[in-house]
Amino acid sequence: MKKFYDTVYWLFMSFCKIVFIISICITSYVVFCRYILHKTPRWGEQSILLCMVYMALVSASLAVRTDTHLRVMILDFILPKKVIDLLKVLSQVMIFAFSLFMIIYGVQFCALMTKSTMSGIPVPQAVLYGAVPLAGLCMLLMQSERFFLALFKKLDKVPQEYIDFWEAEKAKKEAEQAERDARLAEARKCREEERNYA
């Protein structure tokens, strides 16, 4: 199961990287045309906008898997642990529901926008708004993995590949923390030596 989600994550991440590279190339070309050739292509700004919309929405959806999206954590220091755990479960359900909302209504909105065309480039507005259901699909897939893992933990049947991955990640974090502690200790030692010399 992990291989499937790793592949899906890699595909969406590769898509974001390709779109980002394309947007950089188009931006460079538009700047060159504007300041060197003194002629700005009409399709430039709209193409960059199209790339940025896809990259922003899809890459934000990828953060669901690693739980690295922005959030306000002030309640974690105020409310009891049981309430925090309940709110975490509620937030996961809301993310799942929101991803379904993005897919269903995103597809409907795209269908409405098929007849209108983007300014500057001869493509339907539906192509621009297609980023919404695509991001919803990505978010749904990433969130489904979290639901499956929560279910497996309840049943005490977590796949071995996830256990190995978590242990490797834990060892990696511990090694990074040990390295940071060693650097901090070395910095303190250097400061003490400087004070002694002074």
pTM exceeding 0.95: no
The pLDDT of residue 5 is 85
In tens, the pLDDT along 34-56 reads 999 888 888 888 999 999 999 99
SS (H, E, C) the chain: CHHHHHHHHHHHHHHHHHHHHHHHHHHHHHHHHHHCCCCCCCHHHHHHHHHHHHHHHHHHHHHHHHCCCCCCCHHHHCCCHHHHHHHHHHHHHHHHHHHHHHHHHHHHHHHHCCCCECCCCCCEHHHHHCHHHHHHHHHHHHHHHHHHHHHHHHHCCCCHHHHHHHHHHHHHHHHHHHHHHHHHHHHHHHHHHHHHHC
Domains of the chain by residue range: 2-158, 159-198
Q: Encode pLDDT of 138-150 as tens digits.
A: 999 988 888 887 7
